[in-house]
Structure 1
Amino acid sequence: MDVTEVKVRRKKKLGSYPYVSVVFSITLALFVIGLFGLLLLYANKLTQVIQENVEIQVFLNQTISPSDRLKIQKTLANKEYIEPQEGQEAIIFISKEEAAQEFIEETGEDFRQFLGENPLRDAFVIHVKPEYYAPRELSKIKLDIERLRGVFEVAYVESLIDAINRNVTKISVVLVGFAVLLMIIVTILINNTIRLALFSQRFLIRSMQLVGATASFIQRPFLTRSLLHGILGGIFAGGLLFAIIQYAQQQIDDLSQLQSTQELIVLLVSLLVLGGLVGFISTYRAVKKYLGMSLDQLY
């Protein structure tokens, strides 16, 4: 008696395709985007920290009275370019005695013994907001403060400010250019992955057309699944990125100081939106392409 093998094949469902490879590709692509986004956030925060630690010193006249000194401090406190420091006063006063003592502790030499006096001056130390770190803005701030009665001189390390501004500009141009290139590559990668996955569905799409199904009816299940797969890829990529951040914080001291919880949340949400959006658009284009093909072109 002959034994006939019966192969039971699962019926293809409209909109179904090997989604594991698609989700994996989307996850990998979004993870790379997330790492680069995290690098941008850290670089921006590091630049801000460097700028905030650049001090501007306001030296006062030797014969200034305490009332005039207090008046200058109040005037400076009302300036729109002053940046308050977290956990510190916005304007720090350093007396000439404190400055002399600090100098002696650093050098080990007491210059007052052979000079017979303390030539240093009382000074205020201020920090300005990041948007005022352009050379032209700093020059305006310097002139503005030096007009105050009782102010002898305003000093800051101009070479350091210029170097910071030049490097920030160069880094920004490079990072933005690389970000655009990376976005294009990731979009193409996800688009090609989805098109290859939908290639196996081209005859099913054609069959649905032949029985009178509308284009929107055929597209709907594909678009729904692609949107879910994109969001799922974003969730996996966000989870991997969060794990990397936790590990890096354990290995690198003070890394958490360069991290903003709000910006990190925005980055993770952006991965979800980007995954869903790119998956949706790529699927829409692929299905529309197969809908417009003739039977000969499908082979």
Structure 2
Amino acid sequence: MALSYTLREGLAGFRRAKLAAATSVVALAIALVLIGLFVLLGWQGQQVAELLRQRASEVEIFLDDDATAEASARVGDRLRSVAGVDSVRYVSHEEAAEIFREAFGEEADLYDDAQFLPASYRVRLGGDAASPDSLEAFAEVVAGWTAVDDVAYDRASVEAVERNVRTFSSVGLAVALLVVLAALLLVGNTVRLSIYARRMLIRTMKLVGATNAFIRRPFLIEGVIQGLAAGVVAGIVLWGLYGLFLRFIRSADASRAVVDWPGGTPLLAVAALIVLGLVLGFIASSVAVRRFIRQVSLS
């Protein structure tokens, strides 16, 4: 009986204040779309940052000119056994000379013989090992190995990538928190207006012995319904907007990196947005109801 009453009154409250409820749903849906876009773009930014970090964290290990083939091979084996190393590629004298000619074009002809370039290993590190401090520690250790002449890497680029990632993450988090706060206030204000419009009914219910918990439940259902409706609307809009963004990115010649939905399907993002709408609707209505029902006086 109590459950059926709660559901019936929650739906009835949603129907009574159609304009206020519709306004709240639209506003919350906009907030959820913004949150979803920030999260998805932030996720894409993390993927791009990881690619840039991997490229910037390439370490080139130059071998001694008189290093034997066996000594060079041992260096390669030791590098592959180091934790955090994603890839190891050997660059011979001949390949280094070819890379030199491609990089400098006609100016490379100034050198009669580019075989002065030493053989080397190009190592890419990933995860925590790609941080500036870890790269420096790795370079210092490898520089002391037998048959290793020098170790070089672009520390400035690695630090720039790390700095930009931190800035992007901080700004995105701050904006997302502001949007969430605005969404909570919108739903809470709508529920508060609904409580105020029915304050005489609430007073009557209190007079006949209804508990605050019994009175609260229909308003909580109303907030959850608003959150559910906003989540569904936001999920559909986000699906379309982010789908257009992905098509645009994939059509650009310069963007051949992996660009997709998290998990490879839009259903996860849409479902997460619907759940977030439900949670925000429940939290906002719960806070508003607990505060304003107590203010309804029996006198």
Matched, 1:199 2:202: no
- Which segments of 5 or more consecutive residues in structure 1 lack a partner in the other structure? 1-12, 84-89
Match of 1:158 in 2: 155
For the 8 Å contact 1:57–1:155, the answer to whether it is kept is yes
Supply the distance in 2 between the matched residues of 1:256 and 1:109 (Cα, whole angstroms).
Answer: 32
Alignment of structure 1 residues 61-72 onto 2, 5 Å: 61-72=64-75
Between stretches 132-141 and 120-129, larger displacement belongs to 132-141
Q: Quick one: which of 50, 53, 62 aligns to 1:51? A: 53
User: Identity of counterpart residues, as a percentage?
Assistant: 27
Alignment of structure 1 residues 91-130 onto 2, 5 Å: 91-109=88-106, 111=108, 114-116=111-113, 118-130=115-127
Supply the distance in 2 between the matched residues of 1:179 and 1:94 (Cα, whole angstroms).
Answer: 46
Supply the distance in 2 between the matched residues of 1:51 and 1:40 (Cα, whole angstroms).
Answer: 16
For the 8 Å contact 1:205–1:290, the answer to whether it is kept is no
Deviations 1:251-293 (A, max 9, x none): 2224772445239766544433332222112222333344323
Q: Structure 1 length normalisation: TM-score?
A: 0.82
Supply the distance in 1 between the matched residues of 2:230 and 2:54 (Cα, whole angstroms).
Answer: 38
Q: Given the superposition, is the C-alpha separation of residues 257 and 196 from structure 1 closer, same or farther in structure 2, using an over 3 Å criterion?
A: farther
Match of 1:14 in 2: 9
Matched, 1:172 2:166: no
Supply the distance in 1 between the matched residues of 2:114 and 2:256 (Cα, whole angstroms).
Answer: 45
Supply the distance in 2 between the matched residues of 1:38 and 1:131 (Cα, whole angstroms).
Answer: 23
One-letter amino acid matched to 1:283: S
Match of 2:276 in 1: 274
> If you compute each CA radius of gyration, which structure gives the higher value, 1 or 2?
1
3-state SS, counterpart of residue 148 of structure 1: coil
For the 8 Å contact 2:54–2:130, the answer to whether it is kept is no
3-state SS, counterpart of residue 115 of structure 2: coil
Match of 2:242 in 1: 245
Supply the distance in 2 between the matched residues of 1:256 and 1:145 (Cα, whole angstroms).
Answer: 31
3-state SS, counterpart of residue 64 of structure 1: coil
Give the C-alpha shift of residue 120 in structure 1: 0.6
Deviations 1:218-267 (A, max 9, x none): 22222223223313322221221111111112222247724452397665
Between stretches 29-38 and 173-182, larger displacement belongs to 173-182
Give the C-alpha shift of residue 141 in structure 1: 0.4
Supply the distance in 2 between the matched residues of 1:262 and 1:108 (Cα, whole angstroms).
Answer: 43
Supply the distance in 2 between the matched residues of 1:276 and 1:43 (Cα, whole angstroms).
Answer: 27
Q: Which has the higher helix share?
A: 2
Give the C-alpha shift of residue 23 in structure 1: 2.2
Give the C-alpha shift of residue 294 in structure 1: 4.0
Between stretches 139-148 and 251-260, larger displacement belongs to 251-260
3-state SS, counterpart of residue 141 of structure 2: helix
Give the C-alpha shift of residue 114 in structure 1: 4.6
Supply the distance in 1 between the matched residues of 2:62 and 2:131 (Cα, whole angstroms).
Answer: 22
Supply the distance in 2 between the matched residues of 1:198 and 1:256 (Cα, whole angstroms).
Answer: 52
Give the C-alpha shift of residue 77 in structure 1: 0.9
For the 8 Å contact 1:41–1:259, the answer to whether it is kept is no
Supply the distance in 2 between the matched residues of 1:113 and 1:284 (Cα, whole angstroms).
Answer: 77
One-letter amino acid matched to 2:262: T
Match of 2:82 in 1: 79
Match of 1:137 in 2: 134
- Which segments of 5 or more consecutive residues in structure 2 lack a partner in the other structure? 1-7
Instruction: Provide the aligned C-alpha RMSD in A.
Output: 2.7
Supply the distance in 1 between the matched residues of 2:167 and 2:54 (Cα, whole angstroms).
Answer: 20
For the 8 Å contact 2:61–2:151, the answer to whether it is kept is yes
Count how many residue pairs are aligned between Structure 1 and Structure 2: 279
Supply the distance in 2 between the matched residues of 1:57 and 1:191 (Cα, whole angstroms).
Answer: 58
